[in-house]
Amino acid sequence: QVQLVESGGDLVQPGGSLRLSCAASGFTFSMNDMSWYRQAPGKQRVLVATIAVLGGTTTYADSVKGRFTISRDNAKNTLYLQMNSLKSEDTDVYYCNRKNWATVWGQGTQVTVSS
């Protein structure tokens, strides 16, 4: 029943920007802290950013701090990740999920930063 559908990934040049979206269903979105993760082939999934239920508290991995912004729209059950000043090392598949109970995962959305 839980569904997470990531979108917005694309090929972008270094220094460019992308806005990722995550459409969530099957759980009470507004009562769950939400996170973005990323994973490259052969590497572990890593936490990128987390946002509290009302959006007042956010945390970021050091690698993206100052460049990425996580946000949410509880009325639309949607999570966002605004990515600016993209670097080649940001190339990964990006996933969203509940911070505290990641039961299932979506397909993710591919972000490729390259010239």
Instruction: Report H helices in the chain.
Output: none
pLDDT at 2: 94
pLDDT 10s digits, 12-64 = 999 999 999 999 999 999 999 999 999 998 999 999 999 999 988 999 999 99
> What three-state secondary structure class fits 13?
coil
User: What pLDDT was estimated at residue 47?
Assistant: 98
The Cα–Cα gap between 97 and 12 comes to 24
pLDDT of 7 over the 90 cut? yes
CA-only gyration radius of the chain, Å = 13
Contact at 8 Å (CB) between 7 and 18? no
C-beta separation of 8 from 18 below 8 A? yes
Give pLDDT, residue 56.
87
* Average pLDDT over every residue of 66-82: 98
The pLDDT of residue 55 is 86
Distance, in Å, from the CA atom of 47 to the CA atom of 70, rounded to the nearest integer, reads 12
What pLDDT, in 10s, does the model give residues 76-109?
999 999 999 999 999 999 999 999 999 899 999 9
